[in-house]
Structure 1
Amino acid sequence: MKETTAKKLSLRGAVPLSHFFLRQLVCPGDLAVDATCGNGLDTLLLAELVGEGGKVWAFDVQPRAIVATRELLEKEGRRECVELIEAGHERLSEFVPKGVKAAVFNLGYLPGGLSAGALAKAGEHPLVTSPQTTVSALEQAASLLVAGGIMVISLYTGHEGGPEEAQAVESWGAALPPKHYNVWCSRQLNRPPLAPYLVLVEKV
């Protein structure tokens, strides 16, 4: 079964690469966090991996992201093990206990969300993650990980504020003590410089 699944995997992009690592490490009964649930795809994967005996906390400040995630989970029969939280990920430690096996951060805009022009017509402003709240959330998530737990952080630099957030994440990761954390940065060499990339943090 594992061989068949592996043949279907694609490693094109930061998110598929993050899913590859999650599939290797997250097991039934584990605790996991989706710090930016967006349209719910990361949340669904985590729910499938932890199973009925585990739990997933999924955060987003955008009500439509919470709705989209809830609808996807209900459609796939994975709603029971997920707690949906309409709040910024900088409040992560208010809701999540220690013992987390994996935390997922998919930064930037809501995937597939409305364009800036469409939002303006609707009287809304585009919401993106910010360096300050992201670094705060990363610090909290790192403190909640179990030994052997991971954080996968997909970074996007093609929008306003994206390069600054990516730099803040890299600086934060570079400052983590190597005695307690392994930190990797992975880019696709045959893609444009602005292509999304992945930062992976493992707690030793």
Structure 2
Amino acid sequence: MTLEHLILMRHGETTWNRAQRLQGHRDIPLSDVGRAQAVDAAPSLVALRPEVIVASDLCRAQQTAEAVATLTNLPVGVDRRLRETSMGKWEGLTRDEAIADWPKEWNAWRTTSAHASPPGGESRWQVAARAAAVVYELDAGNASRALLVTHGGTIVGLTGRLLVLPEDSWGTLVGVGNCHWVVLHRYAGAWRLHSYNAGLGGLVLPKGEDQVAGT
């Protein structure tokens, strides 16, 4: 095991984020606001001294990662396993539309087991399993500090898995804000939470359901 620090960064804002529309696997680019967020946040991520950068294959994550990479000599690796949760039938809908048609399913997905999922979509457990495989591969390499630029739902699931939280508690982790990040560090062989939902504005407190995994 070589990794000592792991930074999980969410991509910048898209127009669908602003509209609270569930993107899932839809390849939506950053908005002007999102590109500015990525540029503004980049120096803080560089200060965390990543030795390797890997992004989801969705363009909103790659664009965010490139803003960090331009300040370093590091290439951006791309890995499909870091992409957002597949939202199934909810993909393309707004949060309110999904709640109106699937209220029980929405509540179960947001509040209960890591194994709950949108209709036809992925559970947090499934997303965390594929994303964790990326971490395990990096852990077998030479880097001690890695930056993964990914998505809100992926970060929630991966954080729960790496911290070995009870699976029925993963839904208690709030979504991470655009261009905010989670930092984990390893101590005595186990991952420990250093910071959650950190960013230029400090810790972001969500307003109700404003920050929704799957975007």
Q: Same fold (TM over 0.5)?
A: no
TM range (shorter): 0.3 to 0.5
Name the TM-score, length of structure 1 as normaliser: 0.39
Name the TM-score, length of structure 2 as normaliser: 0.38
Structure number with higher relative contact order (C-alpha < 8 Å, ≥ 6 residues apart): 2
Task: Name the one with the larger strand percent.
Answer: 1
